[in-house]
Every structure is written in structure tokens, then in C-alpha cells.
Structure 1
């Protein structure tokens, strides 16, 4: 092995967010290529990348040295006083490297404390904390921003020596090094000279490093752009954060040797430090929290007890199904499977895991917190079904346990659990209290620079005009696996632009180098980690921008080091189902049991087949509705399959179309061997599920289910070597089962083809069950279900508007809020649904409680003034009452909204006086109050005034509710919308990327801005009857449509759909006011003239009128004599007009109402 004479100990990877540009795989690859056997990770203040770096290093035979560049406070880390003053240093840099297990634990403690207690601009530690946690750590004095270097540059050499001694004393004589760097800066030469002298004087060893922020010298410019992205500047800006030159790359040992030829010991010390740093991360031990079982049981025994007791309870229902002939598998198979699973769970050591999950789900069920029927592969476990962890019978649907827990490749099982969205927090609180606050945490997640986003970010950094960058970004296909390289291969226009336009070439070149880098950290939406001891014994913690505490390691890394992570997902659908069932109980007295719903209800399948699935879990997108109408599902297995197939891969590949044609008999379904029909019959010969791949391998080639799962994974990951070995094994096994090699080859190819698209049937079954339950409730209890659905979306005005439109299409009336009838939520009343008070803006729960309490006391509010007297005005304040008036909540009192709004202040002043009189005892709390007294007070206070105009009434209604309910500005344009609009906002989705469409709506919000060239453009919000969408109006369209860009203007927007990472929006090419759409789109004007009016004077006036309104619309005359004849006359072609409203009004004055017809086609 060649002599290694240098190791890089100062590297900033992509986890030094938007500052480091080194990818972990490139770091390891270049370490190998440059002949080094070790390298370090030293990101800014954090340990985000430690686990993936460690694993990649070990996998490739490179020693991974764990470290971090810490920020050290000049005094106490707890001191955080105001903004930083000029010349002050809020922190100094210090490199800490892990020498051993003690050092790793101490680095975890230091990094955690830096975020949780020391954060001030950066996560800071101090010397007091370092002293407590110095064992097992090696420190390097840092770059020019290190404490020693900073004082040298200030000319305070004595202080620099003092701090060098202090660090040596804290860390130990052999554990502190003076760090030399040479990036060609004069300041470094000054500092290095003093450090060499100091080393000799104080006996502190030297070490040479390069402050690596990128891999190659050529990456200096992309890195500069990355820093611009971080700071919001451009490369042209002069006064900005900028690295001095292009020397901050991962240099070879030879290059480092040239820089530090005079200090060879500083190079040798890098190798010595690397030799001393020896950490073994334990990735083979599971650190499960301790579940306390009753003392007479072991964990295995108690787990088995719970599982068997649960099986006995489930057995009652299974026997009922068996008696009805609806049980697909004999009971003996259930008993056999139960024994197999219990044994496997005990043998793999996961009894405690099952008990932990059972415990918090049992808590949720006891507290009436809805729990999902299952999620992911866990629904394939019969034991989980028996323990009430899941609610899907795996044998009834052919689900496999080995897809969840494979005894032949043991990895931690993974239950992801859905809870009612509103009460998910209660379950997390229970787990936190049960296992200890220090032992439970949320989990970090990292966002990366995806293809479209990185082009936009890079374009901003390079100061390229937005419109140009945006047009390039939009050429990247909106696909999960999209990349710039893939787009260049598949989009000829983009490749052509790269060749011909230097600016585009630079943009794409830089963006490619930055693509995929980690951009930011945030909190995982559902992940929770539970440890047997305080988490800082295993993992560093992080504090986010909203003071939320998470782990510094992402979910996958936590699993790698053996910690238990759980997904506690909040699922809105569970909330809707519970609310709907409660509504049904209150309005009909019926108690719905989901377990007993028939899964063969014809009316429910009719709803699916007709695509009436708005509000139905996972089946409500416009694309899925279209698939449902084509497919016509008739049984539960169909729903499972469609749920699995409706994903980008199967849709793009045409697999879903083939599936439908096979079901319809348009494509013949054949099977290579009879056994295949038993496995693929339910999916018409198409491999839809991963479990089918496993069953084929087992039945046709003799694989155990564990081996079959390994084959499935290999096919999914497409690892060539493993695939080759698995293929040989399959062909050999098939031969032993007397299947011809040629046939076996065809079957294997079929499996390989579909394996990439195959979906987890366990997950699909559980979610199809939720879909069926919601569809059943919508079909049989539409009022109660839709009331629950509306309640669940009270904070999302777009969804509310869409669901109210759905109610109207279902023939369900949605009544406005009413102070005498509304509850907090939407409620089913008679033949309709009453609006919930909680959906009114600025009306909080405490105000609602006060109003409902007062209503309960009075029975009914008959007077506005009396209402003000009875409620608590500290809670029901002016904003609340004004919102109630605007929303129409007081309409049932028989007074105009304008009148009530005018007296809000006076009514409240009167009520406050009454409250004070009560408190003084001047009015008995129990004095009788006659209803007419309040009505009389109302009439005394209320001015005589007209109601608001319809426009103002609706505008205020929208202000209070977020949308219109008693009317809509678009109602009068109903015929125009039908004729000219091709989509609604609800139709627009990311699958429509780059498609042209037109939407009619009302402009609800306008944000005007200038491009860098000074041209005006706008971002507007367009609302229609079912929702809203963002519309970008670039300068050319803005200029042409400026007069129409007004809030509350009803317009038709033509344009192209643009799919971003998280939403779809519209890029406007034309904006036309709906009131002018017919005139602007008219091709011909037909004027109907009664013969009796055809006089010379009239003809001359008509001719003059048409001449004065010249335009591009041709004219045709219809001469009529009622009940006798009609004559069409087309005048000279030169007579063309501009069909304005004024012209039409004048013509209809002359020839009668309806005399003018505009033809648009």
C-alpha cells in the first residue's frame, strides 16, 4: 500500500447548508482517487451528515473521521445581547474531531447544546461547556476566524498565546493543534508565521488543512453562486459575501505538500490524527425503549398473551363470515399463520416493538381517537390484526407477513400509523409522557435542490432575467425522477438552447453542479423517535426556526443506528369519518360500525363508477375520476388495484390503460402456466402488486417467502449482480418444478418488467378500505358526510368552495350561518347543511362558546341588542360581531346587514352599560326580560337605510367567509363560462404541465412587481366557483390587460399550466373581462330588423351607427315579418364593426330587446 502522507481534516459538505458544495459520494471517491485512506467531515456547527458519511466511508474502505466546525462564543454561550456591533466577534471557529466513542458522545452533547441553549446567529458553545465535554476530542485551532488567528490579525499576539494555552489545557497536551492554512491570502501568511513561532514557543503541534468547500477547482464558480443563493445576492454584486479565490477545493497530497514544504510535520500530523481517530458506530444493535410488562411475564410471554387474546376476539367475526360463505381462507390457515408469525416475531426479537405499538394504539382507541385501518406493509401481519394495531384481515386479501418482517434479511419492522388529524398530538403526548420527554423527539428532514428549483435559484444568483430562467425551468418535465441531464436528453429545444446561447449554457452548467445538494432543514411531518434513554446518548438534537426540537439525523439514519422511529400521521379522512358517524348518530339515532359495513354495496360502486368521488379518500382527483368512469369498478379488489395503479409510473408506461382494456375484454388475458392465473387472476393477468412477484417466485420456483422478498427488493433496486444471481436461482427453481426454461425466462422477464411499477398491496388494501368507507357514507348518508367534510376543511377556503359546489350538484342546500341555528361546525339540518360559526373569519372557539351558552340560556336570539347584552363582550368583540353581520349570521332577525353594521358600536356600548349595571346590582341577574324590549331597542338604535348593493353584500360575505355563499359575481356569466372556459380551478393539477387552458374567475388579489429591466408584471389570485389558482402575468400580457387587472373583476384567463414542485399555476397569455368576452370573441353580429321598421331614416341612422363603430366583426341582417317570412342579407364585406356594449344597447333601442345576436364560432 503506498505511503499516505496527508489526510484532509477540514471539509464542508453539502450539510454546511448553502455553503458547502461537497457531495458525500464525491468526497469518498476523490479521497480514494487521490490515494488517501481517510478523510473528515467538519460541517458548520452540526452533525447532519455524520451517519451517511460514516457508512459511505466504511463501505468504500475509507476511514471516516467524524467532526464539526464549532462556533465558540467569546464569553458565555448563554449571553445573547442585541445585534452584533462592528468589530465584534459573536463567535469563533474551532474544528473538533472525534477520537473515540467518548469523543462521539461529547460531540453530540456539544452540538446539541449549541442549538438548544447557545444559539445566537449560529449554534454556539463556550469554553466552560467544552471543558465539560472535551474527553475523546481532538481540536484544531480553525481558519482565520478561529480565536487564535483573529487575535493575531488584530496584533494581539499575547492574547493569542493565552488562548492557545487555554485550549491546550482544556483538551489535553496531545489533543490540541495549531491549524495552518494557505489559500494564497496575505492574512494567512501573517497568521501562519505566528503559529509556527507559537508552536515552537509553547510546544503545541501544527497541522495543515485546506478549508474545503467544493471538490474541484472548477467548482469554485458554482460554489460562488451557491453562496449567492444563501445570501440572496447575485454574482455581479460587489459588496457581498465572497470567497477570496478558487483555492477552497479538495487538493491532492502533492498540492498540499507544495504549500507546506517548510512544515512537513504539519502534514505528518494529519496522518497521525487520522490514525488516532477510531470510531465504530454500532449499526447492528436495536435500541428499543423499555416496555414494562407485568412482573409475572417476560416481553415474549406478554406479547403472545395479547396476540392470542386478540385472535380469540377476531375469531367471532371470522366464524360469522365462514357461516355466510364469505371467508376466502379456512380457519385452520388463520391458526397456522398466527403460530408462524408469533414464532417469527419472538425469534427476531421484536416482541417489545409490537407491544410498544399496541400500547399507544390501545390508548388511542380507549380515548376514542380514530386510528387508521393500516398503512404500509404492516397491514400484512395477522398478529397486528389480532392486536388491533391494524384493521385489515391479511388472509382475506392475500397479504404477506414477509413483506413486513423478513426473517431471512432482518431489518426493523416499520408500522406507520394514521391518527385523526385533530387528536394526533394527544397520542404523541402520551408516548412522550410514557417514555420520558428527553427520550422522545420529532425528526429532521432535508430539502434538496430539485431540477426546476435549482435552475431558478441559479438564475437569480447569475442575475439572468426571470422570464428567461422561468422558460428554461419549465422545459424540465414535471416528473418524480426529473433531472437537468435527463431533460437535455429528452427535450431537443433545451439542448438546442444550451448549444446556441452562452448564458443558457452557463446557467445549466452551474445548475447541474448544484442540483441535488441539500438546501434546508425542516421538521418531518410525521416522524417521531423513541429511545430507551435520553436521546443525546445516541443522537445530536437541533432547534429549528420555530423553536421546534428535532434530531439532527434524518429518519433513515436513525433506523441505521438502531433507534425506533415511528410515523404518527395525521389523516384528515379519519377525522371526517368520525365526524360523519357522530352526525349520523345525532340526526338519525343510528350507530354505524365500520367493521360491519358490507363491502359489496351496489350503490357505493355506482358512485365510484360514475366518478362522483369528490371528498372520497385517494379517489377525488380529476384523473382518477376519469379512470373510474372508464374502468367501472364492481368489487373491492378493483378498488385495491386502482389505488395501486394510479401513480405516475403505471400511468406513463400505459400499464393502467392495458389493465382497463383487459378488464373490458379488449385484450385477451393468457397465462404461461396455470399457477399464474391463481396469482394474477384478480388483476387480469397484470402484475400490480409487489406481493404477486413474491408469490410467483414462491409458487413457481420454490423460493421461501423470505427469499422471494429479497428477489422483489433486488428487482426494485435494479442491482445487476444481485439480479443475475436471483435470475439463475429462479430459473433453476422453476426447472425443478418442471417448468420449461423458455417459459420460466418469459415469466422472469414479465416479473422484472412490472417489478419497477409494483405497489405494496398491504398499503393499497388498507387505503382502499378507507376510500370505500368514505364512499359508503357519502352514498347512504350524504348530508352527514358532507357536513363532516366541510367541517374538516374549515381553514381551507378553496376546498370549502369546491365542496359547497359538490353539495349543490348533489342537490344539498348549504345554508348561510345563522346565529340561532349554527353550531361551531357544519351541521345537517332538514334537507340541507347549516354553515358552522367556526368557519367565519375572526370568530374563535371561545367566542363561539360564549354565543352558544347565551343562546342556550335564552332559547333564541330575537334582538341584535339583546345578543350583545348576553354574550361576553371580552370574547365576542367588535371584529367578531362585524364578521357575523357580514356573513349574514343575523339575517334571521329580519334586519338588513347594512343597518346592523351601522349600529355595532352603539349596540355594544349599550350592552356594556347593562353589564356594568348588573355588576353594581342595579339590575337583578334574574330579572325577566321581554323579547319585545330587545326588538324595541333595536328599532330605536337602527337607522333607516337601504341594504348594501349586491356587489358590496357579496364582497363583505367573502371577507367574512373567504368565499361567496348566497350568490357569486360569476353567476351572471354562467353562459359565458360554459361557452368560453375550458377548465375550472379544481381541474388544474400538476399532470397538466405545459397544457393550454382557459379559466373564468374573479380576481381576488393582485401583487404588482417590476422585473429587473423595470417592466411591470403581476401575480394574481383567480377564484371561480370551486376554488382558486395563482396566475402569473408577465410584462407583455400585463401591458395588454392592464385595464382588466382589478380586484373583483370577473375575467377569462387564457394561458399555459405550469407545474411546480408542490402546486400547479397558470401563466397568462390573455386576460379578457367576462362582460366583454362575447364582444371580443364575436366573429359575426346578426341584427334582426322587423320589416315594419325598414324606413329610409332608420336605414341611414343604422348605416351611420355602423360606420362610427368600425371593427373586425362582420354584420348580417335578418329581415323578418312575424308568421310570414324571414330574409337573410349579408351586406358588403367592408362593413365590419366593433361589437361594444354601447353599440348593442343602441341597436336594441332601435329594433327591440334581443335584436342583436353575437356569433362566436
Structure 2
């Protein structure tokens, strides 16, 4: 459409084209690289032009990173790594709690407990190895060395991922390790004949093609950038060099084709080893000092709600107690006491570091516990601990050690602050100290009003509002059996999603937003929160007409729907929604009771009959009898049919323990 502009004879248009050609391709604005540092032998200004960074007082080069390289200078990226802070904080907690000073760079590299975490896929919190698909590969690989970890780290990315199973099969001898030429064995032996690293590409070009290391690196770059002209030139050099070493043209071309394929995504070995070494260090700390390691993670991730929720649930599964926040035992960051994790109060909304430090300082000077919310407000500096701070502390449960009536405490916040302010003014006017002898000063605290207590749903909901996640429990905990029986997708595990797959998700509804669609019908957007994370759900009007009545704040539900990938996030298009109490009854086609004969006595098994008799209904029952944890034989209890209820689940679980009942849908 714009061809006429170029062919136009108009002088003004020709002038415009002339200036446009000069401007084309130029940078529109200046900006500073996030982590790039230029290193020169002397003053930078002796080598390249410099300037002041936009809106900052930093000196930057006027050349971009590509021009810097062509000018012969070295640019290095220095990136901050949160994992290093987690390691530092873990070591600090270990020193404080165990009086053990660990030099993390001198830990043994053959620690069996550390490799067992990788082999079992227990990599929550372990740098670079946390994703669900990675855990699956680790279970197959059963890594036993840093070399195994580095190779997995390099292979687990688009492109080489297809070779992971081949790599594992070759490691265990299920597939033969082949080399196109004997010279390749020394180069590829470590990775079982598979090209994994960029350094291997360079070595092959050097040893097979007779290229210098500098020429080999140019070949690697040309392949990576798919520079066809440069590759053609380099290929000719490679073939000639191989010929000089007595390697046939056919073999040389096959080897060149192999390195061409891998050079596009071959990973830098030094990078893979460095990252895997850090991952191994985190695994070592987790294996030997689990509580300290998890506390350090919680401190460093406290602003990431999904991660904190995941870590708290992980602690529950490991039977590591997480103590709720407590004004009488306050801690800014997450801490560890006798193996139990102490909640870091910095994670509570509207309670900043300075407020927590004021609470700790006041409690220390007082030399006793705060006895009430009024006593607390009388002692702390209420300029630091204001109304919003106090409300956050109450709803998060930080006063539970003093009084568990959160509703009454919340109602008393303004009165407590007013009382505390008056008392402080009175005492300081008389020249007394709140922390010392108050003489004849008589203190009569107001009484808490008798306010109706919050229900468990309200209490947990307000907790989540105050912190962003649940502390004293999770609404889903009472539905552990339903969660483990019905769920086929965990929100936090949203890698490699299949948008055509129908998913079943158990979670808690929050953030409901009802809207009217173009047809004038009601639809809803809301967030679903499970143990692993949260995501947005969309319920269109057709589904809302049937299931909309169940879309309520803090309702525990089962959602059946399809996934939609939305950038870095995932959404669920809801096809069906049921409260878990209702889903339990409607979807359970049979009940399986799981018993380990070596753990459960015959007398205990005999107690099952009265439970089944008491909970009669229409759902068939199966019994799985196993030995030594193995999957047991399955028996149909044809004489029994049960009603799948909360009572049935509770009674069977009480009798045989967690995981002893499963609902088949």
C-alpha cells in the first residue's frame, strides 16, 4: 500500500524518506541492562562512550551489548539469586539452634540422604528441581552424583527434553551407548553418548574437525543463531579437518549433523554444574536440617502466597508443626524452636518489620507475657502498632495464647487502643515507667464484650484475608479423603497443561465476582484455592444457572472443567461445580477400605462390620488387604452397601488411620 511513497516525485516525501532511512533501526530510547556489567582493562571511557543512566545516577555505556562485544569488551551478567539467601538464612538458623557451623562449600558431595531426596522426587524447595515433570524424571533417573544432576538440569528444557528417557535408559544399560567415532567416547562418555553441553560441541569440533577452540566456538555460535552462510563455511572447515585425521566424509557429515542438532539448545556445562551444585547444597540442608531449611524458604517467599501455602501444606505432610503467630513469642522472620517452625509475623498484612520489632522490644522490657489486648496496648508504642496492625494480629491468631475469642478481641481493638493511649499519657504525665513500679496507680481494664464467636469458616476466611493464606488450618483438611479421591489436577503443578483435558479440582472458593453477560444472564469469576496454589475460574451463564447457588466465599467445592493457559497463569472454565459434601454422595461409585494386615490386628478388623452396618446405603464396598505396605488383594464386600458420609469417613479413618478409605468416582 505504501509503494507510492517510495516512487513519489514530491520533494517533501523524498525528504521524509531520506530521514526515515537514517532513523530506521536506531534505538528509540536508552535503558539500563538489569544485570550487565562491562569489564575493561582501564577506564571504561577509554574504550567506549559512556553516559548517565536515565533517571539514575549510574554510569552506563552508550553501546548496547552486541556493540560492546564487537568492540572487544567483556559483558558479564551478575544476577541476584534468592536461593543463596535461603542457604545463608538456613545456615544462620542451624548455627543458632544446633550450635553447628557448616561451611556449605565443604559439604560431602556423596551424601546419600541428599541424593535420596532427588531419587524420591521430594524436591519441594530445592532449586531448579521442583516442577512435577522434573520430579518424575528424577524418580526414573535415581541420580547418584553431581554429574547426573547437571545432565538432568541441562536436558530439562525445550528441545533436549525428548532425550531424557534415552539418557536414563542408557545409564541403566537398557539401551546401548553408541558413538559415531571412537574419538567421541572420551567426550561423550559422561553423558552416555548424548550431546548435552555446549562444551561438548566445541570439543567435537576441535577433536574431530581439527578446529582451534576459538574456531569451534564460532561454529557453535553460528549453529545456535542458524547463520546459514557462516555454517556453510564452518562445515567445509570441519569436513576438511576430519579428513586430515583420516575420518571419512560420510562419518564427518553425520557428526556435523548431530552437533548441528544439539548446538541449537546445548546447555553451558559450567552453568548446569554451578546450578546443580547449588541445588545439591539446598538438598543437603533439607535432608539434615529440614525445619531450618523450610523456615528459611518461608521467610524468603512470604510475599508469594501460593508458595507459602504450598510450604505450609508440605510441613503438615512431614508432621512438622508450624506454630501460629504469637505476640508473647514474636519473631520478625520464620524461626525454629525445638524442631517446630515459628510463624514470621512479617507475613501478616499491615504488620511491618518495625511493628514486630516494637512488640519484641516491649515484651522484653516488660519481662512477662502480655496478659490481655488492653495490657498489650498499654505497653507497646501505638504509633508503631496502630489499628490496622492490631486487627491484622487478632485475625491472624497472634493473640490466641492470651484469649481465643477472636471476634470479641477484634471488636475491642479501638477500645483497647484508646485505653492504652490514655494509660500511657497518664503514666508518662506522672513521670512513671510502664515497665517499672507504677506506685499507687490503679489499673482497671475494660471487659471484653460477649460477642458471638466466628464459625470455623469465618475464622479461617479472616485469617486468609489477614495473611493471604490459612495458618491454623485449611478448610480442605476436613475433606482430605475427597481431595485425594477426586482430584486429578493440582493448581500449583500447572506445567505442561493439556487444554483439552478435563480436570477435577478440589478447592476453596474466594474472591467471587458476579457479572451480567451480553445476553443479560448472570455469570461468575472467582478464585479456587487448593493446597498447592490458586487460579482464576470462569463460570459462564449456562453453568451458573445450574450450579451458581454453590458459588460462595469460603465454600469447599469440586470443580470439573477445562484448563486455559493465560500467559504465566492458568484458568479453569467450569463445566460443573459441587460442594464437596454433595460431591461425596453424588460421585462415589464405590468405597475402598485399605488395610495393612501387618499393622492392623484381626480384632481391629472385626470392628469394621458395625461401622458398615451403622452407615447403610447404596454404595458398594471393597476391601484391600495388603502386607508390608504392598498393594493388597481386593475383595468385594457384597453383603454391605453404605451411605458415603462424613461420619463413615471419620469412623473408618479413626479405626485404621489416614489413607485407609478411598472414594472411587
Specify if TM > 0.5: yes
Q: Within 1, Cα distance between the matches of 2:503 and 2:462?
A: 31
**Aligned residue in 2 for 1:465:** none
Q: What's the offset of the Cα at 1:809?
A: 2.1
Whether 1:612 and 2:365 are equivalent positions in the alignment is: no
Which of 462, 472, 475 lines up with 1:969 in the alignment? 475
Task: Give the alignment of 1:587-606 within 5 angstroms.
Answer: 587-606=97-116
Structure 1 residue 949: Cα displacement: 2.2
Aligned equivalents of 2:498, 2:273: Cα separation in 1: 28
Q: Summarize the alignment of residues 531-680 of structure 1 with structure 2, pairs less than 5 Å apart.
A: 532=44, 556=65, 559=68, 567-651=77-161, 654-680=162-188
The C-alpha deviation readout for 1:563-622, integer Å capped at 9, x for no partner, is 986544332111111111111111112222122111111111111111100100110011
Instruction: Give the structure 2 partner of residue 681 of structure 1.
Output: 189
> Whole-Å Cα distance in 1 between the matches of residues 13 and 640 of structure 2?
99
Q: Which moved more, 1:726-735 or 1:1013-1022?
A: 1013-1022
Q: Secondary structure at the match of 1:918?
A: helix
* 1:756 lines up with 2:264 in the alignment: yes
Counterpart for residue 978 of structure 1: 484
1:925: how far off?
A: 5.7
Q: Which residue of 2 aligns with 1:834?
A: 342
For residues 950 and 555 of structure 1, the distance between their equivalents in structure 2, rounded to whole angstroms, comes to: 58
Counterparts of 1:800-819 in structure 2, within 5 Å, are: 800-819=308-327
Cα deviation, 1:538-574, whole Å, max 9, x if unaligned, reads 679767xxx9999999954664785986544332111
Quote the residue 1:900 is aligned against: 409
2:584 aligned partner = 1078
Out of 400, 405, 416, which is 1:891 matched to?
400
Cα distance in 2, alignment partners of residues 620 and 952 from structure 1:
33
- Structure-to-structure mapping, 1:215-254, within 5 angstroms: 217=1, 249-254=2-7
**Equivalent residue for 1:909?**
418
- Please report how far the alpha carbon of residue 746 of structure 1 lies from its aligned counterpart in structure 2 after TM superposition: 2.5
Instruction: State the match for 1:1057 in structure 2.
Output: 563
**For the residues of structure 1 that align with 2:584 and 2:12, how far apart are their CA atoms?**
82
Task: Say if 1:280 and 1:836 are closer, same or farther in 2 by CA, change over 3 A.
Answer: closer
Q: Distance in 2 between matches of 1:1115 and 1:702?
A: 74
**Does the 8 Å contact 1:1006/1:1047 carry over to 2?**
yes
Q: 1:925 to 1:573 in 2, by over 3 A?
A: same
Change (3 A) 1:883 1:978: same
Deviation sequence 1:733-780 (CA, Å, 0-9, x none)? 122222233332332222222222311112111111111111111111
Specify the alignment match of 2:391 in structure 1. 882
Displacement, 1:1084? 8.1
The structure with the largest alpha-carbon Rg is: 1
SS of residue paired to 1:833: strand
- Taking a change above 3 Å as real, the CA distance of residues 266 and 926 of structure 1, as seen in their structure-2 partners, is closer
Q: Contact (CA 8 Å) 2:37, 2:75: kept in 1 or not?
A: yes
SS in 2 for 1:701: coil
What whole-Å deviation, never above 9, does each CA across 1:517-549 have from its counterpart, x for those lacking one? Answer: xxxxxx865457899569x97679767xxx999
Q: 1:926 offset after TM fit, Å?
A: 6.1
Secondary structure in 2 matching 1:998: strand
For residues 537 and 663 of structure 1, do their structure 2 counterparts lie closer, same or farther at Cα, with a shift above 3 Å needed?
Answer: closer
Tell me the distance in 1 between the aligned counterparts of 2:184 and 2:644: 69
SS of match in other structure, 2:200: helix
Shift of residue 694 of structure 1? 0.6
1:855 matched to 2:363? The reply is yes
Post-superposition CA distance 1:1095-1146 (Å, at most 9, x none)? xxxxxxx9xxxxxxxxxx98899xxxxxxxx99699xxxxxxxx9999x9xx
Aligned partners of 1:639, 1:560: CA distance in 2, in Å? Answer: 32
Shift of 1:794: 0.8
Please give the root-mean-square deviation of Cα atoms over the aligned residues, in Å: 3.9
Q: Which residue of 1 aligns with 2:523?
A: 1017
**What's the TM-score, normalizing by structure 2?**
0.82
Who is 1:784 aligned against?
292
**Per the alignment, do residues 1015 and 561 of structure 1 end up closer, same or farther by CA in structure 2, a change over 3 Å counting?**
farther
| Secondary structure, counterpart of 1:868 in structure 2 | helix
User: How has the CA–CA distance of structure 1 residues 922 and 743 changed in structure 2, closer, same or farther, with 3 Å as cutoff?
Assistant: closer
- Count of aligned pairs between the two proteins: 608
The corresponding residue for 1:1035 is 541
Contact 1:580–1:785 under 8 Å retained in 2 = yes
Alpha carbons of 1:566 and 1:919: their partners in 2 closer, same or farther (altered >3 Å)? farther
The corresponding residue for 2:652 is: none
Q: How has the CA–CA distance of structure 1 residues 250 and 1047 changed in structure 2, closer, same or farther, with 3 Å as cutoff?
A: farther
C-alpha displacement of 1:903:
2.4
CA distance in 1 between partners of 2:285 and 2:662 (Å): 47
Distance 1:1140 1:660 in 2: 44
CA drift at 1:1065: 2.4
Structure 1 CA distance for aligned equivalents of residues 62 and 99 of structure 2: 50
TM-score by length of 1: 0.48
Contact kept, 8 Å, 1:558 with 1:564, in 2: the verdict is: no
User: What is the correspondence of 1:170-209 to structure 2 with a 5 Å cutoff?
Assistant: none
Query: Which ranges in structure 1 are unaligned for 5 or more consecutive residues?
Result: 1-216, 218-248, 284-441, 445-522, 1094-1101, 1103-1112, 1118-1125, 1131-1138, 1145-1156
- What is the SS of the residue equivalent to 1:1003? strand
Q: Cα deviations across residues 209-235 of structure 1 (Å, max 9, x unaligned)?
A: xxxxxxxx2xxxxxxxxxxxxxxxxxx
Say whether the 8 Å CA contact 2:52–2:58 is kept in structure 1. no
CA contact (8 A) 2:424 2:434 kept: no
Distance 1:1084 1:578 in 2: 51
| Contact 1:802–1:1026 (Cα < 8 Å) also in 2 | yes
Report the CA distance between 1:823 and its aligned residue: 0.9
Residues 127-142 of structure 1: pairs in structure 2 closer than 5 A: none
2:456 aligned with 1:950, yes or no? yes
- 8 Å Cα contact 1:1000-1:1024 kept in structure 2: yes
Secondary structure, in 3 states, of the residue corresponding to 2:327? coil
Structure 2: how far apart are the matches of 1:1075 and 1:775? Answer: 39
Superposed CA deviations along residues 610-638 of structure 1, whole A, max 9, x for unmatched, are 11001001100111111100111000001
* Residue deviations 1:812-843 (CA, integer Å, cap 9, x gap): 11111111223100001102101011011110
C-alpha change, 1:1116 and 1:745, in structure 2 (3 Å) is closer
The answer to whether the Cα contact below 8 Å between 2:589 and 2:620 also exists between their aligned partners in 1 is no
State the alpha-carbon separation in 1 of the partners of residues 395 and 15 from structure 2. 76
**Worse-superposed segment, 914-923 or 816-825:** 914-923
1:529/1:1006 CA distance change after superposition, 3 Å: farther
